[in-house]
Structure 1
Amino acid sequence: MKKISIGLLASALMLTNISAIPQQGIKVWNNKQCAVVLTYDDAVDIDLDNVIPALDSVKLKGTFYIIGSSPTVNNRLDQWRAAAKNGHELGNHALFHPCDGSQPGRSWVSPDHDLSKYTIGRAVDEIRANNILLKAIDGKTDRTFAYPCGDLKIGGVDFYTALRKDFAGARGVTGGLQTAAQVDLDNIDSYMIQNQPADYMINLVKKAQETHTLLVFLFHGIGGGHSINEDRSEHTKLLRYLKAHESDIWVAPMIDVAKDINAEQGK
């Protein structure tokens, strides 16, 4: 038997490792290595002032989770309508953003919108009312939901169960990278970003590329406008990386990705 050089052996092992990467997860991501969803919560002015212009400048689409009662919705309705017409998703973040005030550190929760005091019927009614509002803005019936504060339950019961038929999926707040088969469409993982360097976010994208998984970013303020903030320049660096690698990364609104996951899981 001929001796194999160390270099050839290393090359052979490298090829073996590449071929061992699960390939079944690629097709569902629009035939790319992974999917990245950029989500922005709470319908704040900064979405229209900073975020949408930044996305449009590199022709990427995002998902904006809208609180129907936000003054920004009422005051800038035409701009939200234009954003939706341009391909951005207006997702549902509930009519009044109710959070569970019984949780630690939630003294700021308004008594009127304390999820722990809600009935499931009230929560469902308000979320459906927000869907009607959003349809009046964008004319669409298909969209996704995001849990305010990541709260899933009322009285120990998952309130989203009653809403499954209303949405293609619901975004949660637990960080994680998952294949299409692993994604729970009732509670889609996401990474909440606050004052993170671009390298941190880009490394998450690279990991998603390597593992052929879904990566969801959860932003609030970009360059101000919210108590949970990300630096505008760091956000721009992330967008530039995504744009530079768009042949390998599917960047799409949550509604498109959730629909593809649902189709893949239903096979």
Structure 2
Amino acid sequence: MILAKIFTLSAALLFGVSSVSHAQVPTTWNNKQCAVVLTYDDAIDVDLDNVVPALDSLKLRGTFYLIGSSPVVARRLPEWRRAAQRGHELGNHALMHPCDGSLPGRSFVTSDTDLSKYTVSRAVSEIRTTNTLLNAIDGKTARTFAYPCGDLQIGGVKFYDQLKTDFVAARGVTDGLQTPTQVDLTNIDAYSINGQSAEYMLDLVKKAQQSHTLLVFLFHGVGGGHPLNVDLKAHRQLLRYLKAHEKDIWVAPMVEVAQKIKAAQLGASTSKPRE
């Protein structure tokens, strides 16, 4: 009798936990196995020449992190507006793309765009100015931010702390697959792609499917246009796989995925019993 009760209790716990985990994770990912976010940095010509047409042809949507001062933004503003109208997110990648020039390997940083020489107030002001510009392009107020060069601090101070109410979330540059509860919305992990094969990217997607996690790709050049580049054919293979498995993979702009994660994290925190 005692053994029967123990078995019944064990089975209830086993199946109960299993059903909760399998119910909660897919719900966060729009009732699918995982979420994949395609992000493209720096507002370069290939975004509009190669990427947007490729995404549109498969009815997939991505996030384009625009540098406010980029001449490609000014010169091709109507095209960015049309991209936003088709569901792509125009994210904020700061006004001047400032990076910390005091760090190793930063010889490309100029004195005008050296984050280590910024004040926090200047960084915050420039990022908010870029939000104003983006709002004038797409008419939207909800969007995400991407740290230029992945730099989080100025003089030891995290400047994004003053911007949390301006954005839904911020994307970083650290590799990682994460469950909804593991995601830090102030610094979302992303896999930077520079020369990796289609097989490498597809393997990441399959791992995300198996682990029910968030996978964020960080691209610069696609078929050229930037020193950090992915082959056009490899990028196309990734998109085709995502489209072929869209019943299992939620592909959406960062802002939509982040909003879902934010709601899930808020729900989890409010449901915890008080001590």
Work out whether the TM-score is over 0.5.
yes
Secondary structure at the residue paired with 2:207? helix
Distance 2:21 2:198 in 1: 28
Query: Which residue of the partner structure matches residue 238 of structure 1?
Result: 238
Query: Which residue of the partner structure matches residue 5 of structure 1?
Result: none
The code of the aligned residue for 1:68 comes to: G
Query: Which residue of the partner structure matches residue 85 of structure 1?
Result: 85
Distance 2:133 2:260 in 1: 26
Secondary structure at the residue paired with 1:65? strand
**Is contact 1:21-1:211 (8 Å) kept?**
no
Distance 2:241 2:19 in 1: 26
**Is contact 1:42-1:66 (8 Å) kept?**
yes
Q: Quick check: 1:74 aligned with 2:81?
A: no
Distance 1:75 1:32 in 2: 39
Alignment of 1:119-198 (within 5 A): 119-198=119-198
Query: Which residue of the partner structure matches residue 10 of structure 2?
Result: none
Distance 2:172 2:224 in 1: 23
Report the CA distance between 1:20 and its aligned residue: 8.8
Distance 1:20 1:175 in 2: 29
Secondary structure at the residue paired with 1:165? coil
Secondary structure at the residue paired with 1:25? helix
Distance 2:131 2:60 in 1: 24
Q: What are the superposed Cα offsets for residues 104-158 of structure 1, whole Å, 9 maximum, x if unpaired? A: 0111101011000001000000000000000000000000000000000000111
Distance 1:238 1:166 in 2: 32
The code of the aligned residue for 1:54 comes to: A
Report the CA distance between 1:21 and its aligned residue: 10
Give the % identical residues: 69
Secondary structure at the residue paired with 1:215? strand
The 4+ residue runs of structure 1 with deviation greater than 6 A are none
Secondary structure at the residue paired with 1:166? coil
TM-score by length of 1: 0.92
Secondary structure at the residue paired with 2:25? coil
What value does the CA root-mean-square deviation take over the aligned residues? 1.2
Distance 1:120 1:245 in 2: 43
Query: Which residue of the partner structure matches residue 203 of structure 2?
Result: 203
Number of residues of Structure 1 aligned to a counterpart in Structure 2: 250
The code of the aligned residue for 2:176 comes to: G
The code of the aligned residue for 1:204 comes to: L
Query: Which residue of the partner structure matches residue 112 of structure 2?
Result: 112
The code of the aligned residue for 1:111 comes to: S
Distance 1:78 1:230 in 2: 26
Distance 1:179 1:59 in 2: 26
Structure 2: which 5+ runs fail to align? 1-14, 268-275
Distance 1:233 1:150 in 2: 27
Distance 2:181 2:106 in 1: 34
Distance 1:95 1:78 in 2: 19
Report the CA distance between 1:22 and its aligned residue: 3.8
